[in-house]
Amino acid sequence: NGLGALNTVPVEGWVQLVAFIGAHEILVKPRANGLGAYDFGFGSELLEGADEAEIQRRQTSERNNGRLAMVAILGMLWQDGTFGISPFALMRETGLWGPNIDFIIKDIPMCAGGSMCAVNPAGTRVARSAIALHAEATEEPRMSLALPYLKYPEQLDGWVGGEKGFDPMNITMALPVYWCREAELKHGRVCMLATVGWIATDSGLRFAGDMFQNVSTIEAHSKMVEAGVMAPFLAAVGVVELYGGWLTINGFEERIKRDAGDFFIGKQVLPKDPEQERLMRLKEIENGRLAMLAFSGICTQAVLFKSTWPFM
């Protein structure tokens, strides 16, 4: 049953299925004078004679049912792939609430010890309790140093750069800090390189080759697309992204020993003293944050006013 049925289809069966779907996609066209490009004549004739309000109601019902069906089939596929049993059989074995799926939320900080996630309480297998969002305070709350009117995000403890507690949108309450730090370091590093590259280009530095000459920084992307440079460039970036994604997933799941953002390049130059190493990591994060703001400002200034660095 379920996904296991795919293994029972022979090769000739897949060929027939692909051929049938391909023929339908190529040969079946919207009917002439129909309701639109979506009208293939399969049941839409039932709408003939209905007034506009009724047609709109029926089409809305179809769209809503289709959206619900898409979500439903995704859920059924996930359930079958995760537990290997049909929904009704799973319900008979584990009850109405189903098996324990706390593993799905175990890495989300807001679900680890408090907030709004439903968890499996001790002492019962199927019962669920919603944790109160506003528990009675037993001590003075710890406030953020960056935003003294907000509570300190406790999940940032132990992370370099999190000492000031700046997370006004509570992003790290919904997402694991490991992933947030990975994204922050990647974007910060890219923007540091981009800022230096933009200033260098505006200052007149160019690669060798006629295609790189007499091209402004704003025009560079379009000109490189026209010259055919972007395809190999994106391929190289794609290789790096695939490697980075593999490192991130395995590091997050602790299959390998890896800090967020660590590509195992350059760690040899870090100070041996733990405190000095922490300061170096902090400098990278803060410079990256500054570069993200700087690069956004550079792009905006250059495009709006058609000017070059230093924009004076």
Position 236 pLDDT exceeds 90: yes
- In the predicted structure, residue 115 carries a pLDDT above the cut 70: no
| Averaged pLDDT, 13-37 | 85
Does pLDDT of 145 surpass 60? yes
- Residue 125 scores a pLDDT above 50: no
Residues in the chain: 312
| Amino acid identity, position 115 | S
- Whether the CB-CB separation of 189 and 181 falls below 8 Å is answered with no
Cβ atoms 116, 131 nearer than 8 A: yes
pLDDT for the residue numbered 113: 58
- Is the distance from CB of 258 to CB of 250 less than 8 angstroms? yes
Question: How far is C-alpha 202 from the geometric centre of its chain's CA atoms?
Answer: 33
Would you call 287 exposed, middle or buried from its count of C-beta atoms within 10 A (0-12, 13-18, 19+)? middle
pTM: 0.57
pLDDT on residue 289: 94
Q: What radius of gyration, in Å, describes the C-alpha atoms of the chain?
A: 28
Q: Mean pLDDT, to the nearest integer, of 166-173?
A: 86
Tens digit of each residue's pLDDT (9 = 90 or more) over 41-66 = 777 777 777 888 888 888 899 899 99
Any idea which of 106-115, 200-209, 279-288, 299-308 has the lowest mean pLDDT?
106-115
Q: Is the separation of the CB atoms in 165 and 146 below 8 Å?
A: yes
Question: Which of 47-56, 67-76, 88-97, 125-134 shows the highest mean pLDDT?
Answer: 67-76
C-beta of residue 280 within 8 angstroms of C-beta of residue 270: yes
Q: What is the mean pLDDT of the chain?
A: 83
